Every structure is written in C-alpha cells, then in structure tokens.
Amino acid sequence: MKTYHIAVIPGDGIGKEVVPAAVKVLHTAAELHGGIKFEFTEFPWSCDFYIEHGKMMPDDGLEILKDYEAVFLGAVGNPRLVEDHVSLWGLLLKIRRGFEQVLNIRPAKYFKGLNSPLADPKNFDFVVVRENSEGEYSEVGGRIHKGEDEIAIQNAIFTRKGTERAMRYAFELAQKRNRRLTSATKSNGIFHTMPFWDEVFNELKADYPDVAVNSTHIDALSAFLVIKPELFDVIVASNLFGDILTDIGGAIMGSIGIAPSANINLNGKYPSMFEPVHGSAPDIAGKGIANPIGQIWTAKMMLDHFGETELGGKILEAVEWVIAKGIKTPDIGGTATTAEVTEAVCGRILEK
Ligand code: NAI
Ligand code: MG
C-alpha cells in the first residue's frame, strides 16, 4: 500500500468548501484503486489565521510543509479582513517562491455541456507550460529622472537553465500526451531574448524526435487559441506569454470555477503545489453552491504528478460525465449544490 502525505490548506471563502469536496473525491479514487491511500494534514492558514496571529502562516510554515509530497491549496483572500497584497504575499507567493516552483501548468479543455464563449467550439484539449521564475517578470531595471527626461528600464531575464528546464518539461509532457509541442516566441520583434529562446528550443528538439514541434509568434498564437484551439497539444511559453495564454485557455472553457493549475518544483528539493485558478469568491462563500470542479480537476493534476495517471484520467472522465449530465452548479448554468456535484463525481468514479 502506497501512502501519499499531502499538506492541505483550504484557505478562505469557498476554498473551505471546494477543498473538502476534492479530498472526498481523492479518497474515493483511492478506494477504487485499492493499492494507494492519502493522508491529509490540514493547516488553517488563511485570513482568519491572520486576524488571530498577525500573519498568514507561522514563521516556520515552509519548514512545516517541506516534507509533504504535495501542497493542496484552495484559495486565499478575504479583502474585508486583510488586504489582498498582504494575504497573497504572506502565503501563496511565499510558498511558490520558497519552494522554487518554477513552472505553472494550466490545462484547458472543451467540455460537452459547458457554455464556451466560442461560437462553435471543437474538441480542444491543450496544456500551457509557463516558465514561472524569470523572464519578463524580473525586478532588474530601474527608473531615473523626472518629467520629460524620465526613463524606465525593465530587463527580461532568460537563463539557459530556466529556459531549458521549462522546455524539457514541456517536451516530456508532450510525449505523454499527443506528441505535439508549440513554442510561444516573438523573435521577429524581441531582439535578444526570444532568438535565444528559439535557439534553445531548436537545440533541445533533437532529444525528442518523437515530438512534432513548431514555433509560433505570440500574437498569432493568441489568435489561434481563440479561432482554432483544437490545433494545440502542449504549449511552452515564457512567464509573460504564458500568463496571457493561460488566461485565454481559462476563458474559452467557459467558467473560472473549473480551471485547475499546478505550480511545479523541478529540483526535487521541495513539494509542488496544486490549486485551482479561481479565488475565494467571497460573493458566494458559505452558500454551498461553489463549483468544486476546479479543485477536483486540480486533484487530478496532483495524481498525474505522482504518476497515478490512470486514476487521474478516471477522475476527469467522471467530471466530464457529470457536466454532460447537467449536474452543474449555478455559475455554469445549473441548480446543483457543491455537495451534489461532488456526490455525482464520486458515484461515477465507483461505477463499473
Ligand atoms: P474569484 O475567482 O474569487 O471570483 C470571481 C468571480 O467568479 C466571482 O463572481 C465568483 O463568485 C466566481 N467564482 C470563482 N470561483 C468560483 C467557483 N468555484 N464556483 C462558482 N463561482 C466561482 O476572484 P475575485 O473575486 O477577484 O477575488 C476574490 C478573492 O480571492 C480576493 O481576495 C483575491 O485576492 C483572491 N484570489 C485568490 C486567488 C488564489 O488564491 N490563487 C486567485 C484569485 C483571487
Ligand atoms: Mg494572470
């Protein structure tokens, strides 16, 4: 029997509703599997915790989380109690940075029964691998002078190490999926970093002869994701480009309540963190109607990360079935509660 030890941080608002839902689905998946078990340790770190202790998590919070195999997080934020930049920097960003989670992974997929804003959505299914530690989002640069002589300089940082590890992860992911990889570039406009990005990509592709590759400029790629998202399998992108592409991916699916994400540590020194894309949704918190699909799909990504891909596939299949059946929360046009959707997913997983 393999036991996975997972640190659970429900956080604030609907995080406290959708995390227990996804935990239930994981226990159900383990029951189906028979040979694995999940041991969850819950941490109450949140805005409520801040009110009591003056901080979002204890000073040794990272030390406490370090030895778990993964961190499973709901959502953080309660602007009525704590300013958003305080809650974000005090917990989420501390974990992402402290644990060197250098990649952000976000899938996007067509679901039968979901209202995509696309007029005629085909059966798209792609994953964006976003470099998440350097690139355009750097603190290198500066400003001098005032008034009409004012100058602002922002440097983009692309290291060979950072670029290569993001691309290798994407190539390997493509090998496990449909063996197609698109690199988001802009080497026709950005003079130094993007030609470098292309060079590294072209070097690495020799190591993955079974993956069909292409490089597409970010402007055209953004348009393609709206017009023909079904063309894509895995996309690898720098920090800024990936930020934009992942939002398009979420948007064309039709609801923020279903989108999952993973923050991946690649050096094996720290755990990776799995969290849905949505926030704590204070407007619907406590009503029992939060959509648990984003958190449940996030659980599936965690299983994939553990190598339990068959079981992960089972969860996603159950989610697809439940949505197609019309068992949906109000945000996606249904009348079901969080609990009803969760029950339906668990029921489907155990069905023969
Ligand atoms: P939000 O994602 O919490 O909500 C945006 C809208 O989508 C709301 O109308 C909400 O009801 C709806 N929504 C989101 N998730 C849903 C779900 N699972 N089911 C049904 N409806 C859902 O974003 P917002 O309102 O901008 O932020 C609220 C708080 O969450 C803030 O404190 C913000 O800082 C925090 N936040 C935290 C994130 C995180 O923990 N990663 C990400 C985004 C926001
Ligand atoms: Mg963004």
**Could you tell me if the CB of 260 is within 6 A of ligand 1?**
no
pLDDT level of residue 255 (50, 70, 90 thresholds): confident
State in Å: Cα 245 to ligand 2 middle: 9
| Claim to verify: residue 248 and residue 132 sit in the same structural domain | yes
Give the ligand whose atoms come closest to the C-alpha of residue 128: 2
Q: Edge to edge, what strands does the sheet with 180-185 contain? A: 36-42, 2-11, 70-75, 272-276, 260-265, 101-109, 125-131, 234-237, 180-185, 212-217
Q: Whose CA is nearest to atom 42 of ligand 1?
A: 279
Q: Do the domain assignments include residue 269? A: yes
Atom of ligand 1 nearest to the CA of 291: 19
- The residue among 218, 253, 288 that closes a domain is 253
| Claim to verify: residue 211 and residue 284 sit in the same structural domain | no
pLDDT at 244 over 80: yes
State in Å: Cα 285 to ligand 1 middle: 10
Q: Do the domain assignments include residue 110? A: no
Q: Do the domain assignments include residue 109? A: no
Q: Do the domain assignments include residue 34? A: yes
Q: Whose CA is nearest to atom 6 of ligand 1?
A: 281
Answer yes or no: are the C-beta atoms of 85 and 93 closer than 8 Å. Answer: no
| Assembly ipTM | 0.97
pLDDT of 100 reads 97
pLDDT of 195 reads 98
| Claim to verify: residue 337 and residue 225 sit in the same structural domain | no
**Could you tell me if the CB of 312 is within 6 A of ligand 1?**
no
- Please report where in the chains the tokens 């029964």 appear, as a residue: 113
Average pLDDT over residues 246-252: 93
Calpha distance 349→1 (Å, rounded) = 20
Kindly give the pairing relationship between strand 234-237 and strand 180-185. parallel
State in Å: Cα 278 to ligand 1 middle: 5
- Beta strand spans in the chain (E): 2-11, 36-42, 70-75, 101-109, 125-131, 141-144, 151-154, 180-185, 212-217, 234-237, 260-265, 272-276
| Claim to verify: residue 86 and residue 123 sit in the same structural domain | no
**Could you tell me if the CB of 257 is within 6 A of ligand 1?**
yes
* pLDDT tens sequence across 303-350: 999 999 999 999 999 999 999 999 999 999 999 999 999 999 999 999
Q: Do the domain assignments include residue 178? A: yes
| Claim to verify: residue 131 and residue 60 sit in the same structural domain | no
Residue 86 parent element (H or E): helix 84-87
**Could you tell me if the CB of 298 is within 6 A of ligand 1?**
no
Calpha distance 11→81 (Å, rounded) = 13
Atom of ligand 1 nearest to the CA of 75: 40
> Structurally, how many domains does the chain consist of?
2
Atom of ligand 1 nearest to the CA of 278: 2
Out of 83, 247, 256, mutate this one to test ligand 1's pocket (max ligand atoms within 8 Å of CB): namely 256
State in Å: Cα 296 to ligand 1 middle: 16
State in Å: Cα 243 to ligand 2 middle: 5
Between the alpha carbon of residue 34 and those of residues 28, 276, 298, the distances in Å are 10, 27, 21
Count other Cβ atoms within 10 Å, centred on residue 20: 20
Q: Do the domain assignments include residue 27? A: yes
| Claim to verify: residue 91 and residue 159 sit in the same structural domain | no
| Claim to verify: residue 141 and residue 170 sit in the same structural domain | yes
**Could you tell me if the CB of 291 is within 6 A of ligand 1?**
yes
- Burial group, residue 337, by CB count within 10 angstroms (0-12, 13-18, 19+): middle
Residues in the chain: 352
Q: Do the domain assignments include residue 51? A: yes
| Claim to verify: residue 229 and residue 297 sit in the same structural domain | no
Average pLDDT over the chain, rounded to an integer: 97
**Could you tell me if the CB of 290 is within 6 A of ligand 1?**
yes
| Claim to verify: residue 146 and residue 240 sit in the same structural domain | yes
Domain hosting 128: range is 116-253
- The residue among 203, 229, 253 that closes a domain is 253
pLDDT of 352 reads 65
| Claim to verify: residue 194 and residue 240 sit in the same structural domain | yes
Residue 344 parent element (H or E): helix 338-350
**Could you tell me if the CB of 17 is within 6 A of ligand 1?**
no
Give the ligand whose atoms come closest to the C-alpha of residue 261: 1
Q: Do the domain assignments include residue 184? A: yes
> What percent of the chain stands above pLDDT 70?
100
| Claim to verify: residue 223 and residue 175 sit in the same structural domain | yes
Calpha distance 105→116 (Å, rounded) = 21
Token representation of residue 196? 């470098």
CATH code, 285: 3.40.718.10
- Secondary structure letter of residue 228 according to DSSP: -
Choose among 116, 97, 138: nearest CA to 263: 97
Choose among 232, 249, 134, 246: nearest CA to 183: 232
Token representation of residue 197? 């990005």
- The residue among 201, 225, 253 that closes a domain is 253
* pLDDT tens sequence across 113-170: 999 999 999 999 999 999 999 999 998 999 999 999 999 999 999 999 999 999 999 9
| Claim to verify: residue 289 and residue 245 sit in the same structural domain | no
* pLDDT tens sequence across 203-216: 999 999 999 999 99
Supply the pTM of this predicted model.
Answer: 0.95
Q: DSSP letters along 242-260, please?
A: HHHHHHHHHHHHT-GGG-E
Between the alpha carbon of residue 259 and those of residues 26, 33, 245, 274, 347, the distances in Å are 18, 25, 13, 12, 22
Between the alpha carbon of residue 106 and those of residues 1, 134, 260, 276, 329, the distances in Å are 30, 18, 6, 9, 22
State in Å: Cα 280 to ligand 1 middle: 5
